[in-house]
Amino acid sequence: MKRFHRGAALVIAMLLAALAAVVAMSVARGQQQWLAQTSHRSEQVQAQSLALAGVQWARQVLFDDAGRGTLDYIGEPWSIPLPPTPIENGFIQGAIVDAQGLLNVNDLGRDGPTGASARSRFELLFDRIGASRRTLDAIADWIDTDRQPRDDGAEDGWYAAQEVPGLAANADLVRFAELAAVRGVTPAMVAGLEPFATALPSHQPLNVNTASAGVLAFAVPGLDIGSANALVASREARPFTSVGDFRARLPQSVPPFDDTSFSVSSTYFIVNVHAMQGDTHARARALLQRAQGGWPVVVWQIVE
């Protein structure tokens, strides 16, 4: 009996020792995972903080630029991207884009000449990317404030009948990516439109000093892409000092147009920042509004 008890005690002691070893290994593994998670979280926070700092860098650059004059054109300091800049355990890079060098999709939902002009511009753009012009009715219905669907549009009734019910926004898009929620708009369509269009909270004139040749060809009636490329080459040597200067350099074949639809300066700018800390990446994107003589306002920003 005593021998049996001694044997049982030995087995229990061995089991306890094995259990202690397993617990110790588990604790060690948990500590390693915790340390790794903590390290990753710390790097994530630092990377996001760097990305947000990049937005502040853009605000400073645009504020300083406002003191140099009223013209905004490619070649100014704000338009020069910040290349990947090494920092401790990572890097940061960024770029500022003139949002008024792009077509404003929200103009499609506006009444009168503004809406009609936007429709003409986006019809050409849709032709360029191979998208159906009929989708423009759905986009306009999503933005305008009435509840009456256009010929090829969609209002609350259509969205409420979908598998995931919803309603038309009947308001301006805040961010261009929201366009994906509109009937008939595909991710490929959004990607095709993005180099040429954006979403601004109010109607703004197109800056002819920063618009690409493609955007100019969509925006100026009667302007072909070859002439638009020539205009871009011309402004690289000497930026347009006024809309009158821009008009004077247009081909004679271009008919008269509404001068108020164009400008040589801008208020809205898009900022893109990419930061890395360790193995963690973070990206910030923001729309800035530069008030006259004031510190640029963040209209919206996202950090990923």
Banded pLDDT at 214 (limits 50, 70, 90): very high
CB 60 within 8 A of CB 293: no
**Confidence at residue 131, expressed as pLDDT on a 0 to 100 scale:** 96
Banded pLDDT at 183 (limits 50, 70, 90): very high
What domains sit in the chain, N to C, each tagged with a CATH number?
2-100+267-303 (3.30.1300.30), 107-172 (1.10.40.60)
Distant-in-sequence, close-in-space partners of 2: CB < 8 Å, separation ≥ 6: none
Cα-Cα-Cα-Cα dihedral sign, residues 117, 180, 127, 141? negative
- Using DSSP's 3-state secondary structure scheme, residue 281 falls into strand
- For tokens 């012009």, the residue is 133
Q: What is the pLDDT of residues 287-301, one digit of tens each?
A: 999 987 789 999 999
- Using DSSP's 3-state secondary structure scheme, residue 282 falls into strand
Say yes or no to pLDDT of 206 above 90: yes
Q: What is the pLDDT of residues 216-270, one digit of tens each?
A: 999 999 999 999 999 999 999 999 999 999 999 999 999 999 889 999 999 999 9
Say yes or no to pLDDT of 27 above 90: no
Distance, CA of 114 to CA of 200 (rounded, Å): 14
Distance, CA of 291 to CA of 304 (rounded, Å): 27
pTM over 0.95: no
**Confidence at residue 24, expressed as pLDDT on a 0 to 100 scale:** 40
Strand locations in 88-184 (E): 90-98, 103-104
**Rounded to the nearest 5 degrees, what angle is found at the Cα of 273, between the Cα atoms of 173 and 193?**
40
Full strand arrangement of the beta sheet holding 297-303: 82-87, 90-98, 268-277, 280-289, 297-303
**Confidence at residue 140, expressed as pLDDT on a 0 to 100 scale:** 98
Mean pLDDT of the chain: 88
Q: What is the pLDDT of residues 80-134, one digit of tens each?
A: 999 999 988 899 999 999 999 999 999 999 999 999 999 999 999 999 999 999 9
**Confidence at residue 31, expressed as pLDDT on a 0 to 100 scale:** 43
